[in-house]
């Protein structure tokens, strides 16, 4: 019976392939296909529903239902049995459909006489394309063999849809990769850019989903899997026995486990026996795995899905010969589109070569975000799971990093509005250029120090052009993230020395290694933590792995080579952590002195204030710290208990909230009592209105991305801090939750 089913399945797929080859319109192909499936499956009805937009399915072809319903019957995702199959990505098999949960009666189709219903999703690698439906008068559940045959057919229909076989009139029959699309993600780096898509990993296109010779295809599959296994084994051999490579070995061991999985191979061989080509069999199993594991709440299962995805893509490239290097030329004004990307791969691009980045995954604190900020290009993270499958190399794309929005193939209305925004920003930057040599002095004579943030040597030329007085934060983790092994002390010393050279005597604040949370070293075992942002990270890692901290501190001391050295420790939550870290630096300075090495002419040792707890530390902490930098990004999310990666809560709490401003004021006052210099570092420092209000609360130093120095300086030079403070105080006394409305009203009176 199984052999007979496989034979019938192969015959049907062969007929589908012949239909694909015919020189006919898309609607005619669809009509022929439903007729073939109905005949082969011996059902009275076969229908194909395709998405006309992300939320709406449309009946596009039918054999057995009323033809007048074609392109007229529509339903929302999740509506009816068809919508349920599409939404859940699972087969809906009902013997008595009218009595089934969620059944929707559509009188125009004439389907009331049909009892049994089987709906199979038409998906391609997580991309929902439609639903294949068969129905019969007899009240019966379709057998496992019949359902499997329909899944195989649905796989071929997905590939035919991808190849444009059903293009015709109407929304649902429009060619794929041609519609304007909007993707909403999380703003990882502000700014706007217009350009053309450059895919980090162009997807493999399966042009031969159907094959006539199962034996030959099975041999092709086995040969390709053999090559895959050898490559994984070679990668495992190349990993040394050094403990730092353990996490890398764990990933490769997972790869090897999948590559040697008999159940994985058996399912693909069964797909080939049913009539699929080797490539289509691999892609079918990949799509099914995404459906099974994609919604799993267990992070371990989601990681295994990513392993299987990577492995399947490698196998597809072996089978098709389509490598990641496709021969395509990088387009003009490239905007990188990727599922995710590592720091080393990202840094392979030269500074200035990319105009923006859009990632399906990632976070605002990831290494990609750090590089994007360093390059001053817009970045969107968590942009959904479809942009890499929907975009094609060279597609027109507009990226709004301010709003976390990407417009793929935008229409003329969007293009016009977007270009107006770009022009306005460019005009504003021209205005700020004249302020480079001028100090940030308010109308009442208060001097505000403005510094820039950096993480790459390539950013240092911005120091002169931005008008910043120095580097208020140099992130040192990029030199660790962009390597496969721990960097040597001599390498780090050379990098830090070049940073000081480029600063040309201006102050540079080096923040020690800030890893953990979403910044994981490729050679360090990832800790399975329920909440990494509150877990083993930054100074906690440094104090536990003293060898790494000491090595970095030695590199900083040697890089100074007689020049001033400023070191800042991240994520300090209590006095003892700062005291211990500070002592490590003093011990290393003493060690260098005994070795006869040149010591820094001056050493400043400070800390970031990112946790509310350290704001309430004993007075001795403030007396011991040479300076304090408020880390606004982390501090705000901990203050409001609102994850900045969570769109549902992060926008709920305003930076100019009365409670938060009062807390900033308390920190400024405590530092003033002990004469401890304090600055504010983070995204909010680069927002002119926020910086103005913080200055009114008593802060006199800010560190921000280079492009923000001009706008902040421009506003500060126009206002009187005493007037701003009076506006804030009146707002606080009135009982409002945020002072933003009152401040903006006052700002309008100043500009009128």
Which CATH number belongs to the domain containing residue 644 in this structure? 3.20.20.60
Do both 698 and 679 map to the same domain? yes
Query: Under a CB-based contact definition with an 8 Å cutoff, are residues 473 and 454 in contact?
Result: yes
Strand, coil or helix: 39: helix
Measuring CA to CA, which residue among 256, 374, 344, 271 is closest to residue 308?
256
Whether residue 14 is found in the same domain as residue 143? yes
Q: Are residues 382 and 298 in the same domain?
A: no
**Residue 153 sits in the same domain as residue 197:** no
Please give the order of strands across the beta sheet that includes 192-199.
181-184, 405-408, 396-400, 192-199, 334-338, 356-359, 379-381, 186-189
Contact (Cβ atoms closer than 8 angstroms) between residue 181 and residue 390: yes
Domain match, 633 and 659 both? yes
Q: How many CB atoms lie within 10 A of CB 694?
A: 27
Contact of 237 with 512, CB cutoff 8 Å = no
pLDDT of residue 341: 78
Q: Give the span between the Cα atoms of 363 and 361, in whole angstroms.
A: 7
Q: Low-confidence residues of the chain, pLDDT below 70?
A: 1-8, 23, 163-165, 167-178, 202-203, 235-256, 258-259, 292-308, 322-328, 342-345, 364-367, 458, 481-485, 516-530, 532-533, 647, 751-752
- Token pair in block for residue 602: 């001056």
Q: Which residue, 434, 375, 341, is CA-closest to 191?
A: 375
- 558 located within any domain: yes
* Residue 186: predicted pLDDT: 84
Number of Cβ within 10 Å of residue 41's Cβ equals 20
* Active site (annotated) includes residue 597: no
Residue located via tokens 């449309």: 58
pLDDT at residue 244 in the model: 39
310 and 345: one domain? no
Query: How much is the pLDDT for 62?
Result: 93
Q: Give residue for tokens 């005994």.
A: 594
- Does 676 map to a domain? yes
- Three-state DSSP state, 504: coil
pLDDT at 2: 46
What are the C-alpha distances in Å from 518 to residues 348, 365, 366, 532? 21, 6, 6, 7
Beta strands in 64-180 (DSSP E): 74-76, 92-94, 116-124, 127-136
Query: How large is the C-alpha radius of gyration of the chain?
Result: 30
List beta partners, residue 608. 629
Determine the longest span between alpha carbons in the chain, in angstroms: 95
Instruction: Please tell me whether residues 619 and 684 are part of one structural domain.
Output: yes
| φ, ψ for residue 257, nearest 5 deg | -60, -45
Task: Report the candidate in 514, 589, 594, 583 with the shortest Cα–Cα distance to residue 558.
Answer: 589
Residue 734 lies in a domain: no
**Domain-embedded: residue 729:** no
| From 46, 60, 118, 367, the catalytic residue | 367
What pLDDT score was predicted for residue 181?
A: 82
What pLDDT is stored for residue 532 in this prediction? 66
Pairing of strands 405-408, 396-400: antiparallel
Q: What gap in Å lies between CA 92 and CA 85, rounded to an integer?
A: 6
Examine residue 726 and state whether it is found in any structural domain, yes or no.
no
Residue 695 falls inside a structural domain: yes
d(CA 578, CA 575): 5
Q: Same structural domain for residues 315 and 334?
A: no
Rounded Cα distance between 543 and 550, Å, is 10
Instruction: Report d(CA 598, CA 461) in Å as an integer.
Output: 27
**Which letter does DSSP use for residue 457 in this model?**
G
According to DSSP, residue 527 is labeled: P
Range of the domain at 504: 447-721
Tokens representing 144 are 């496992």
Counting Cα atoms < 13 Å in the Cβ hemisphere of 535 gives 15
Residue 81 CA to residue 78 CA, distance in Å, equals 8
Asked if residue 687 and residue 601 are part of one domain, the reply reads yes
The H or E element that residue 413 is part of is helix 412-433
Burial class (CB in 10 A: 0-12, 13-18, 19+), 115: middle
Could you tell me which of 655, 629, 633 has the C-alpha nearest to residue 644?
633
Domain membership flag for residue 488: yes
pLDDT score recorded for residue 243: 44
Output the 3-class SS for 191-210.
CEEEEEEEECCCCCCCCCCE
- The answer on 572 and 681 residing in a single domain is yes
- Tokens 């939750």 locate to 737
Q: How far is 554 from 490, CA to CA, in rounded Å?
A: 9
CA distances from 166 to 32, 163, 246, 654 (A): 11, 9, 49, 49
Indicate the SS3 state at residue 164: coil
Q: 351 exposed, middle or buried (CB, 10 Å; 0-12, 13-18, 19+)?
A: middle
Please tell me the distance from the alpha carbon of residue 712 to that of residue 107, in angstroms, as a whole number: 63
Selection from 709, 701, 712 nearest residue 509 by Cα: 701
pLDDT in tens, 257-271: 766 778 888 888 888
| CA distances from residue 199 to 185, 190, 338, 354, 355 in whole angstroms, order as listed | 18, 21, 6, 12, 13
The domain boundary, picked from 300, 320, 340, lies at 320
How many separate domains does the chain show?
4
Do residues 26 and 124 share a domain?
A: yes
Per-residue pLDDT, 517: 58
Asked whether the whole model's pTM tops 0.85, one would answer no
Same-domain check for residues 540 and 494 = yes
Q: Looking at residue 289, which CATH number applies to its domain? A: 1.10.274.10
DSSP H helix total and E strand total for the chain: 28, 23
pLDDT at 621: 97
Q: What is the pLDDT of residue 250?
A: 59
- Residue among 46, 118, 681, 693 flagged as catalytic: 681
Residue 675, token pair as written in the block: 């004469």
693 flagged as catalytic = no
Distance, CA of 526 to CA of 539 (rounded, Å): 16
Determine which helix (DSSP H) or strand (DSSP E) holds 218, and give its type and residue range.
helix 214-238
pLDDT at 447: 96
Query: Is the separation of the CB atoms in 687 and 702 below 8 Å?
Result: no
CATH number where 83 lies: 3.30.450.40
Domain end call among 320, 340, 366: 320
Residue 572 lies in a domain: yes
Examine the fold and report which residue of 257, 291, 320 is the final residue of a domain before the chain moves on. 320
């Amino acid at each position: 019976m199984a052999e007979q089913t496989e034979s019938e399945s192969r015959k049907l797929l062969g007929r589908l392939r012949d239909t694909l080859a015919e020189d006919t319109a898309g609607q005619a192909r669809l009509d022929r296909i439903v007729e073939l499936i109905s005949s082969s499956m011996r059902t009275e009805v076969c229908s194909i529903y395709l998405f006309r937009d992300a939320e709406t399915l449309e009946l596009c072809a039918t054999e057995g239902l009323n033809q007048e319903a074609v392109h007229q019957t529509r339903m929302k995702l999740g509506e009816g049995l068809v919508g349920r199959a599409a939404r859940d990505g699972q087969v809906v098999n009902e013997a008595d459909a009218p009595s089934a949960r969620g059944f929707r009666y559509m009188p125009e189709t004439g389907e009331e006489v049909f009892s049994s219903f089987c709906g199979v999703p038409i998906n391609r690698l997580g991309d929902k394309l439609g639903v294949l439906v068969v129905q019969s008068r007899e009240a019966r559940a379709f057998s496992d063999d019949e359902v499997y045959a329909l899944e195989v057919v649905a796989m071929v229909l997905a590939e035919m849809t991808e190849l444009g076989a059903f293009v015709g009139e109407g929304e649902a029959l429009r060619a794929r990769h041609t519609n304007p699309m909007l993707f909403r993600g999380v703003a990882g780096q502000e700014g706007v850019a217009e350009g053309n898509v450059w895919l980090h990993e162009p997807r493999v296109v399966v042009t031969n989903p159907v094959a006539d010779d199962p034996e030959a295809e099975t041999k092709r599959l086995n040969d390709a899997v053999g090559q895959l296994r050898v490559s994984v084994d070679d990668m495992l051999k190349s990993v040394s026995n050094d403990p730092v490579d353990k996490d890398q070995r764990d990933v490769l061991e997972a790869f090897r486990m999948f590559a040697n999985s008999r159940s994985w191979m058996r399912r693909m061989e069964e797909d080939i026996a049913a009539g699929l080509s080797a490539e289509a069999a691999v892609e079918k199993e990949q799509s099914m795995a995404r459906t099974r594991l994609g919604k799993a709440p267990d992070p371990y299962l989601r990681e295994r899905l990513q392993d299987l995805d990577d492995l399947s893509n490698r196998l597809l490239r072996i089978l098709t010969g389509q490598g990641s290097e496709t021969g395509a030329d990088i387009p003009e004004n490239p905007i990188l589109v990727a599922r995710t990307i590592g720091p080393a791969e990202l840094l392979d691009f030269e500074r200035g070569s990319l105009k923006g980045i859009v990632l399906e995954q990632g976070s605002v604190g990831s290494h990609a975000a750090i590089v994007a900020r360093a390059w001053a290009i817009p970045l969107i993270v968590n942009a959904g799971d479809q942009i890499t499958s929907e975009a094609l190399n060279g597609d027109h794309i507009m990226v709004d990093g301010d709003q976390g929005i990407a417009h793929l193939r935008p229409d003329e209305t969007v293009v016009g509005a977007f270009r107006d925004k770009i022009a306005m920003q460019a005009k504003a930057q021209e205005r700020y250029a004249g302020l480079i040599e001028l100090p940030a002095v308010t109308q009442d004579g208060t001097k505000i120090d403005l510094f820039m943030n950096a993480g790459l040597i390539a950013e240092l030329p911005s120091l002169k052009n931005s008008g910043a007085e120095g580097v208020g934060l140099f992130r040192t983790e990029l030199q660790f993230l962009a390597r496969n092994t721990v960097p040597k002390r001599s390498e780090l010393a050379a990098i830090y020395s070049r940073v000081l050279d480029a600063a040309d005597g201006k102050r540079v604040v080096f923040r020690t290694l800030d890893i953990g949370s979403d910044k994981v070293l490729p050679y360090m075992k990832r800790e399975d933590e329920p909440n990494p942002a509150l877990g083993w990270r930054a100074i906690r890692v440094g104090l536990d792995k003293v060898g790494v901290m000491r090595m970095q501190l030695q590199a900083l001391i040697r890089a100074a080579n007689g020049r001033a050295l400023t070191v800042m420790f991240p994520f300090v939550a209590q006095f003892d952590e700062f005291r211990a870290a500070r002592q490590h630096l003093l011990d290393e300075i003493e060690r260098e002195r005994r070795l006869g090495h040149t010591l820094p002419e001056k050493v400043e040792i400070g800390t970031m204030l990112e946790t509310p707890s350290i704001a309430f530390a004993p007075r001795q902490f403030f007396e011991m710290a040479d300076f304090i930098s408020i880390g606004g990004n982390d501090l705000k999310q901990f203050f409001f208990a609102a994850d900045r990666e969570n769109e549902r809560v992060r926008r709920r709490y305003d930076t100019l909230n009365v409670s938060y401003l009062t807390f900033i004021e308390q920190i400024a006052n405590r530092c003033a009592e002990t004469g401890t210099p304090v600055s504010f570092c983070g995204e909010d420092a680069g927002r002119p209105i926020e910086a103005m209000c913080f200055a009114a609360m008593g802060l006199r130093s800010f560190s921000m991305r280079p492009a923000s120095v001009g706008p902040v300086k421009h506003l500060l030079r126009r206002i009187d801090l005493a007037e701003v403070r009076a506006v804030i105080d009146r707002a606080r006394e009135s009982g409002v939750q945020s002072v933003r409305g009152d401040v903006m009203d006052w700002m309008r009176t100043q500009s009128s």
